[in-house]
Amino acid sequence: MRVLGIEGTAWAASAAVYDNETDDVFIETDPYQPESGGIHPREAAEHMREAIPSVVETALSAATGPIDAVAFSRGPGLGPCLRVVGTAARALAQSLDVSLVGVNHMVAHLEIGRHRSGFDSPVCLNVSGANAHVLGYRNGRYRVLGETMDTGAGNAIDKFTRHVGWTHPGGPKVEEAANDGEYVDLPYVVKGMDFSFSGIMSAAKQAYDDGVPVEDVSRGLQETMFAMLTEVSERALSLTGRDELVVGGGVAQNERLQEMLREMADQRGANLHVPDPRFLGDNAGMIAVLGAMMAAAGETVAVEDSGIDADYRPDQVPVTWRPGEPPAPGGDRSDEIRGAEAVVTVEDGLVTKRRVPKTYRHPALDERLRRERTVEEARLTHDARRAGVPTPVLRDVDVRESTLVVEFVGERDLRDAVGTTRVQSVGEHLATIHGEGIVHGDPTTRNVRVDGPRTYLIDFGLGYYSRDVEDHAMDLHVFEQSLRGTADEPEPLVSAFEGAYADAGQDAVLDQLRAIEGRGRYQ
């Protein structure tokens, strides 16, 4: 099967031909280059109208036989650009009398990595201009395990570079400047597997305005943003029990980000695949490859039903073209367990948790995070227990060694024993600690332990004290994302969890949860 793919979600007017018998991919791309500032949707769409015919012609001339299907990027992306590409794809499919396939751009980033790596069921980190998220496969769909709560990774960097007067795209310029800079401390915001770049952008701009050399700010920007992305990737691996990671998106071309991800994977014993550079940025090759998989599975679309969707979420796509996922490792107790940020040993009813140094992070940043999280976990575990929520009893704390000793609780993680009664207990527990001004920070199904009738909250390392409704709602958001990433039928569990929280907590928190969901990059 030969598939013509057309990509045009934002800046790249691209066409490709993929032959699934030879696994050859020919790609022709004409990028949009704004004269100043960032991407202007109207100008980008004009570029698409001018460039798409020529890149398609070039791609077709490289085909070694007839085209069997036309695939196009249906979304997410800039509406004016998507409409140009959709129109071109429909016209080509009709003129060639072949099938039409509408592809989710973000799923294509994941699938090209899975296809090229040969991995069975990897976690995927996508980092592009407008987007940043972590995806995992569960029960026939790709689930958003974590995502930016404000702006995409590339757009965040571009905001800083526009502030200092650099032209688009800013990523390569920051990467070059950072090579000559000294690390400066900037805000680090990770909430479960979600993250935020707005604070770090404001701080970076202010540091530059205050006279900090732009090379130093660029170094701090890279070290902080990419450490956040690497950490949430490791958290996703830990949550899902997977040991394979692929990356996608234009920002993933950054050598420092690749280095961090590689160090994390090596330290964890996981496998990392970084696709060829031509498959990292927006490109039609990934559209054509996924289009061939979908066409073979019968996932074609009639012309009249082929409208674009600028907010097309990856978890809206039924994944029918791939086999079921292999089982994840179970939650059986062992003497040593490696979590996302710590090594845990169990002996004589006690758990020793040591936050190991993360070599991918800058040493100063790593030392600060391990120290602060150890102190907060000790305080919040004690205070939550005093409020009436089951938590481990704290036995010892060594801040210098970033080590805690607590009693062993539960028979297994909630991830491995999820059920309605259990998630209702979590809703009640979160409502209780929120009433005391405590935010857990990372209430995933791996940070809840269960045995018999009891449900325990553990690992308050990302927690803090706050009575802000937004912070409490983020706890709910993190837990629900983890349910969707680890439970076969998550929606009834989500409803039960929210019902229990509503009975014990504040309605304002649930209202704010809806607002947070609306801010997601793919909502």
Q: Give me the active site residues, please.
A: 442
Q: Which residues are annotated as a binding site?
A: 105, 109, 126-130, 158, 171, 175, 254, 282, 353
Q: Which residues are annotated as a binding site for ATP?
A: 353
Question: CB neighbours of 13 closer than 8 A, spacing ≥ 6?
Answer: 7, 29, 30, 31, 32, 47, 48, 51, 52, 55
Place of tokens 């900090």: 212
Nearest to 10 by CA among 26, 35, 29, 36: 29
- DSSP assignment string, 41-83: HHHHHHHHHHHHHHHHHHHHHT-SS---EEEEEEESS-HHHHH
Three-state DSSP at 120 gives coil
Would you say 134 and 123 are in contact if contact means Cβ atoms under 8 Å apart? yes
C-alpha–C-alpha distance, residues 520 and 149, integer Å: 6
Give strand pairing partners of 406.
351, 394
What is the distance in angstroms between the CA of the first residue and the CA of the last residue of the chain? 34
- DSSP assignment string, 150-187: S--HHHHHHHHHHHTTPPSP-HHHHHHHHTT-------
Measure Cα distances from 448 to 6, 151, 158, 429 in Å. Answer: 45, 30, 39, 11
Would you say 403 and 436 are in contact if contact means Cβ atoms under 8 Å apart? no
Three-state DSSP at 453 gives coil
C-alpha–C-alpha distance, residues 281 and 254, integer Å: 11
Would you say 253 and 275 are in contact if contact means Cβ atoms under 8 Å apart? no
